[in-house]
Chains A and B, each alone.
Chain A
Amino acid sequence: MPALLAWFVVAMVVVGLFSTAFKPDIGILEAPQLALCLVLLAILGVRYELGFMRNWIGDLALGVVAALAASLLISAAGRHEGDAALGFWALTAATWAAFWLFVERLAIWKSRSLLTTRIVNLAIPAIFGITLLILWELIVTGAGVPKVLLPAPSEIWLRMTTSVPTLWADFQQTFLKAVLVGFALGCGAGFLIAILVDRVPFLRRGLLPIGNLVSALPIIGVAPIMVMWFGFDWPSKAAVVIIMTFFPMLVNTVSGLAASDAMQRDLMRTYASNYWQTLFKLRLPMAMPFIFNALKINSTLALIGAIVAEFFGTPIVGMGFRISTEVGRMNVDMVWAEIAVAALAGSLFYGLVALLERAVTFWHPSIRG
């Protein structure tokens, strides 16, 4: 596979050399950045093909050259927006193949130390993500995709940095108020009701199948009702989040509380342990992996619920409000900026819950692994 990729790089360089890079009639060698990029990629492909430096220095050089080529391409594309022709696309394809080659090489690295392995395992998806962003940027600027259809990452970044106050206000309204309050209340209620349900076998048998069913329902549909009941401001969104997060928590906690096995319960019985002692010393710790599973599911559901609920009416602030109004005005870069903030907030929230899980259920086989 790596050999094939290197051949592909060389072939694309040759194609690029003999075709126009930008309309109407600019050859690759007439654009200085492209010429440099072409030379770099050619050296990379040929060098790999001939088998020089197939060691970690050579692999790192692959990455450096690919990154240089990419930055040259991006700056060239910026000067000839929308005029890209075959030559430019050939170089884009070559750069992409160079990145792929780099990742291929990284994936077969055998490291001696744990730290390097960790770094490599983080670097690979990061490089993959960056490659996607670069391709996005190159294609959008090169082909001159209309901004309303898909803005380039650089434009989205520009929009993000210039409208920090708006983004912050929206974040505050949607995340810090609706999501966090709803998440805390929904998960808390689900947990407490689960403990109650667990004490009454009749309720457990009756409520659990219904809870399972409700988990599969499009609960988000209650949003318009909640907006009617609790008004336009954040409490109605928090209410939607509460309803959405309640059932996963209920179902997971109930099955978690049933997770202790007969021997462990017998053990507590031989100690003449009472209900609460058994609950706190055995069943709740045992249920923790289940509870964290619900918390993780809910961390994403909460954000979705709050944003979608805002589509049904808000005061003039909030991430969902901003998305729906800016879409109407065709300010797509603002929408993307908002989505980037939402994605970041969602991932961080999830990551935080996952970190807490690692700390609390360190003993579970899936984590101590």
Chain B
Amino acid sequence: MLTAAEIEDGLEDAMSSQANRVIDIDNLSLTFETNDGPVHALSDIDLKIEEGDFVSFIGPSGCGKTTLLRVIADLEQPTAGSITVNGVSPEQARINRAYGYVFQAAALYPWRTIAKNVALPLEIMGLSREEQQQRIQKNMELVNLAGFENKYPWQLSGGMQQRASIARALAVEPDLLLMDEPFGALDEIVRDHLNEQLLQLWAKTNKTVVFVTHSIPEAVFLSTKIVVLCPRPGRIYDVIESDLPRDRNLDIRETPEFLKIAHRVREGLKAGHSYED
């Protein structure tokens, strides 16, 4: 089986045109030099992400899931191995504004209204005023924030702030959306709601999403592909292709298929977690 899979993978590699391969990571490692010696944040990572995938990175803290996302976004530099985003280096991809990044916190600027916050990347890209205006309107509607354009971030709830930050990432109109535990700071009710909205958004826009989380239900509910990472050194333990239908709602979480995948993720997390230290 394994060899067959490998052959298949190799074949796919050989055949893959750059058309639908969004992220290609080969043998990638990242070591931080600290005063207490080197820390192996990432070790021998191999990962391919296709266009239209919804990929979740899940793992305990310190497993390098956020670091991996930051490498894709060119916020960290790998120390070995290779990575391409849209067929070019992450740096080039960043300069091309190929992706939108959503942080753990909304990181909205308090001196700008919501609309002006969404306009921030557009101003930096140097778009015309009409173009900015049109994109603001479109993306505010997409995240259900129409009507809040002239509010300031601190006048909105946490969930609304995070939705605004998603609109800001979408306004760049990237094909790739990188999300680093975007709903981690929100309560579960709001989080469920936003998860559902995110899926609808993904279905509507057909973007590739890479999503970091530490919640098993969230990862299983959202993803087409779940990457389980484990720490010390940070490495990929398991990659699970989800066979759940793309069109899903929150009720799917009661189904046996859902629970089966969740079980596999949980097993992976348990096995990959070393308790020696």
Contacts and interface: CB of A to CB of B under 8 A. Distances in A.
A267 B106 CA distance: 10
A364 B110 contact: yes
A277 B99 CA distance: 19
Nearest to A266: B75
Interface string A343-369: 000000000000000000111110010
Contacts of A282: 109
B123 interface: yes
Contacts of A285: 109, 111
A55 interface: no
Interface stretch (A3-11, A167-175, A268-276): A268-276
A277 B74 CA distance: 19
A205 interface: no
A270 B74 CA distance: 8
Contacts of B100: 270
A273 B124 contact: yes
A368 B153 CA distance: 12
A267 B107 contact: yes
Size class of the contact patch on chain B: 20 to 34
Interface in B70-127: 70, 73-75, 94-95, 97, 99-101, 103-105, 107, 109-111, 120-121, 123-125
B95 A272 contact: yes
B154 interface: yes
B152 interface: yes
Interface in A261-296: 263-264, 266-273, 277, 281-282, 285, 288
The residue among A264, A271, A277, A281 with the most chain B CB atoms within 10 A of its own CB is: A271
B63 to A, nearest CB: 20
A196 B73 CA distance: 30
B172 interface: yes
Contact of A270 (B73, B109, B123, B152): B73
A271 B97 CA distance: 6
A137 B194 CA distance: 69
B109 to A, nearest CB: 7
B110 A270 contact: no
Contacts of A268: 124
B69 to A, nearest CB: 11
Size class of the contact patch on chain A: 20 to 34
A205 to B, nearest CB: 20
The residue among A281, A282, A288 with the most chain B CB atoms within 10 A of its own CB is: A281
B124 A270 contact: no
B99 A270 contact: yes
A263 B110 contact: no
Given A263-B105, A273-B124, A363 B172 contact: no
Contacts of A281: 109, 120, 123-124
A131 to B, nearest CB: 40
Contact of B152 (A264, A267, A271, A363): A363
Contacts of A263: 103-105, 107
The residue among B95, B99, B103, B109 with the most chain A CB atoms within 10 A of its own CB is: B109
A271 B154 contact: no
A290 B121 CA distance: 26
A269 B103 contact: no
Interface string A231-272: 000000000000000000000000000000001101111111
Contacts of A362: 111
Contact of B101 (A267, A363, A364, A365): A267
A269 B154 contact: no
Contacts of B123: 281
A363 B108 CA distance: 12
A273 B101 CA distance: 14
Contact of B94 (A264, A272, A363, A368): A272
A235 B107 CA distance: 47
Contacts of B105: 263
Interface string A50-69: 00000000000000000000
Contact of B107 (A264, A363, A368): A264
Nearest to A273: B124
A363 B111 contact: yes
Nearest to B97: A272
B53 to A, nearest CB: 20
Nearest to B125: A271
Interface string A115-129: 000000000000000
Contacts of A273: 124
Contact of A363 (B95, B110, B124): B110
Contacts of B73: 270
B109 A269 contact: no
16 contacts: A266-B70, A266-B101, A267-B101, A267-B107, A268-B124, A270-B101, A271-B120, A271-B121, A272-B94, A272-B97, A277-B124, A281-B120, A285-B111, A288-B111, A362-B111, A363-B111
Given A272-B94, A272-B97, 17 more contacts: A263-B104, A264-B107, A264-B109, A268-B124, A269-B74, A270-B73, A270-B99, A270-B100, A270-B101, A273-B124, A281-B109, A281-B124, A285-B109, A285-B111, A288-B111, A363-B111, A364-B110
Interface of A: 263-264, 266-273, 277, 281-282, 285, 288, 361-365, 368
* List of 7 A-B pairs having minimum Cβ-Cβ separation, nearest first: A363-B110, A270-B101, A363-B111, A271-B121, A272-B95, A273-B124, A271-B124
